[in-house]
Chain A
Amino acid sequence: MQPVPLKILVTANDFDVAAETRRLTEARKDVGAVVTFSGLCRDEAGTLSALELEHYPGMAEAELKRIADEALERWPLTGLTVIHRFGMIRPGENIVLVLAASAHRRAAFEACDFLMDFLKTRAPFWKKEHLTESNEARWVEAKTSDDDDATRWKKSKI
């Protein structure tokens, strides 16, 4: 059976995890595992009022597709979905969703982990923190630990 068509979406709108999971499993009997990663906005112990997500329209979608295509090549997936939001996101709201479906759990776990590591270091999105205590906003600095996470997948071509 052919994999469910790849879904890449960059949107200001929220997403529905249950509906996205259904898209990868309905009308199929070969899916044994769906691994879901959803990233949410935290309030950093009450200090953060919102995250503002800026992106590079066009390249954001293209880069997510390049990373997803590599995952589809490396693991026997039956479906893959990547959704990333932009704009103002409040604590408790969704930011990002990766769903990887496969016959067995290992491929789904690894593909999901791989997607997130490369998404963080390669997909053109930038977070700005808006603080509760002031009108100040500041750009989040990239973590070198994220680069380290991405180098774990060293046979990667990207």
Chain B
Amino acid sequence: MKVLYFAWLRERTGTAEEQIELPEAVKTGMDLMLWLKQRDEGYDYAFEDPDLIRIAADQEHVEADADITQAREVAFFPPMTGG
């Protein structure tokens, strides 16, 4: 699965995009955030407040409890500030 990070999530993880093999136990966007959080200090900082973070699966907004196991692409980003 392709995983993307934007804005301060990209800066804190030090990663814009990566390929991830989903562990068996990861089903939802929240599961994935909590799993990523354990990787290292940068990811821990990026995902320190997972309730704040927005998720997209295949470029559509999804809730944190939505199943993402079938998605080709998952993205994590802060609340949007365009316009």
Query: Footprint of B on A, CB under 8 Å?
Result: 39, 53-56, 58-59, 62-63, 84, 95-96, 116, 119-128, 139-142
Contact = CB atoms under 8 A, between A and B. Distances in A.
Contacts of A96: 82-83
Where chain B touches its partner, the secondary structure class is: loop
Contacts of A139: 7-8, 78, 81
Contacts of B82: 53, 55, 84, 96, 119-120, 123-127
Given A56-B59, A59-B56, A62-B59, A124 B83 contact: no
Interface of B: 4, 6-8, 56, 59-61, 75, 77-83
B80 A126 contact: yes
B79 A95 contact: no
A8 to B, nearest CB: 13
B60 A62 contact: yes
Given A56-B4, A56-B59, A142 B81 contact: yes
